[in-house]
Amino acid sequence: MSPTVRPFALDLSTPLSTADGEITERRGFLVGVDDPARGLGEATPLPGWTESFDACEAALRNPPAAWDRVDDALGDGRPATPAARHGYRLAVLDAAARDEERPLSAHLADRGGFEAPADTVPVNATVGDGSVEDTVAAAQRAAEAGFDTAKLKVGARSLSTDIDRVRAVLDAVDLAVRVDANGAWDRETASEAVEAFASFGVEYVEQPLPAGALSGLAALRGRGVGIAADESLGEHGVGALLAADGADVAELKPMALGGPDAAIDAARRLLDTGVDPVVTTTIDGAVARAAAVHVAAAVPDVRACGLSTGDMLVTDLGPDPSPTVDGAVRVPEGPGNVGSSFDGCLRD
Ligand SMILES: [Mg+2]
């Protein structure tokens, strides 16, 4: 059955640097199915993490038969077009949850073998690169807005400056701090960074080494601070990350993994192996952000997630169904993902 596919473009509040250079908008597709109920999905490809916009559209216009089954597990197979699969599978899962008259989070919790999902999900504030003073000011604004956790971007400056930035934030603000180097460091710098951040009580160091360095990540574990994988998971998948013992924490991006179902299956595998999943968006529209919130709500006692990204868009698919309040997002309560509130988007 071919889904209804409608392209959209959403303006970013500030340009985003990607594997294909800077982008100023997020282009994607709304996806509609009508079996067994009406279902709505979103496919928003991101260069470096998923297929291209054109490949996404081609896959959506002619979805592989294997995508049709609600209980279809991805296993170790990583989809060639994860954003397209996400859009289609979200529509199918939304239809199933709406037919069951329960939230998508409950449907996904059942799939993962988890208890009842949470009503809210803690989220981190993101603090970009900046001077020591600017970093502290941004962290203070996050604390005043009610966040308990901040993720500081590091790796763009010298390690000694990044250490000063992190130390200044921990001295000035009562926040849990995690840092994300986006693969910027070599092994020697990463080793020094881990030693320093462990002594400060940083929660975890995300992607201290380039995506391909799974054994290098493994060697950084057990030194007093958690090691998180993000780009490594995108490049190698959950199976390879687990086989390498590469991380204490894994960032799950449903859009890059191939769907909310693939993300829940990955969360189950990670938790069974003692790795903590954290759910993050790929700076998506409101429909996919809500789906990521449902995924996170289904994960028991999930750590603060990277789901507070709606304000990175100037325009959106509709009113935010899961706004951030006091450092948490509320899980949409209606049946399915966002209920019927976005159905009109497909008809406009
Ligand atoms: Mg990251």
CATH class held by domain 4-102:
alpha beta
Q: Helix 260-272 and helix 286-298: axis angle, to 10°?
A: 30
The answer to whether 41 and 339 have CB atoms below 8 angstroms apart is no
What is the distance in A from the centroid of ligand 1 to the CA of 89? 24
Residue 51 marked in a binding site: no
Q: What are phi and psi of 193, to 5 degrees?
A: -65, -45
Tokens of 63: 């979805």
Placement of tokens 């995508």 in the chain: 67
Q: Is 4-102's fold the same as 120-339's? A: no
Tokens of 303: 């750590």
Tokens of 335: 């049946």
What is the distance in A from the centroid of ligand 1 to the CA of 282? 10
Identify the H or E element spanning 299: none
pLDDT for residue 213 = 97
The answer to whether 273 and 242 have CB atoms below 8 angstroms apart is yes
What is the distance in A from the centroid of ligand 1 to the CA of 230? 5
pLDDT digits (tens, 9 = 90+) for 139-156: 999 999 999 999 999 999
User: Which residues of the chain are modeled with pLDDT < 50?
Assistant: none
What is the distance in A from the centroid of ligand 1 to the CA of 202? 16
What is residue 204's three-state secondary structure? strand
What is residue 336's three-state secondary structure? strand
What is the distance in A from the centroid of ligand 1 to the CA of 250? 10
Tokens of 179: 């840092």
- Catalytic residues, by residue number, are 153, 253
Residue 42 marked in a binding site: no
pLDDT digits (tens, 9 = 90+) for 172-227: 999 999 999 999 999 999 999 999 999 999 999 999 999 999 999 999 999 999 99
The dihedral of CA 179, 180, 183, 185: what is its sign? negative
Flag whether the pTM goes above 0.85.
yes
Pairing relationship of beta strands 328-330 and 249-252 according to DSSP bridges: unpaired
pLDDT for residue 115 = 94
Pairing relationship of beta strands 21-33 and 120-122 according to DSSP bridges: unpaired
pLDDT for residue 24 = 96
From CA 256, how far away is CA 231, in angstroms rounded?
10
What is the distance in A from the centroid of ligand 1 to the CA of 46? 14
Residue 206 marked in a binding site: yes
In Å, how far from its chain's centre is CA 91?
18
From CA 191, how far away is CA 187, in angstroms rounded?
6
From CA 229, how far away is CA 324, in angstroms rounded?
25
Q: 120-339: which CATH architecture?
A: Alpha-Beta Barrel (3.20)
Domain residue spans in the chain?
Answer: 4-102, 120-339
What is residue 253's three-state secondary structure? coil
Placement of tokens 């910027």 in the chain: 184
Start-to-end Cα distance in the chain: 22
In Å, how far from its chain's centre is CA 19?
17
Tokens of 226: 């958690």
pLDDT for residue 37 = 87
Contacts of 298-302 with C-beta under 8 Å, sequence gap 24+, read 298/105, 298/106, 298/108, 298/109, 298/111, 298/112, 298/114, 298/117, 298/264, 298/267, 299/112, 299/114, 299/264, 299/267, 299/271, 300/114, 300/115, 300/271, 302/118, 302/121, 302/122, 302/277, 302/278
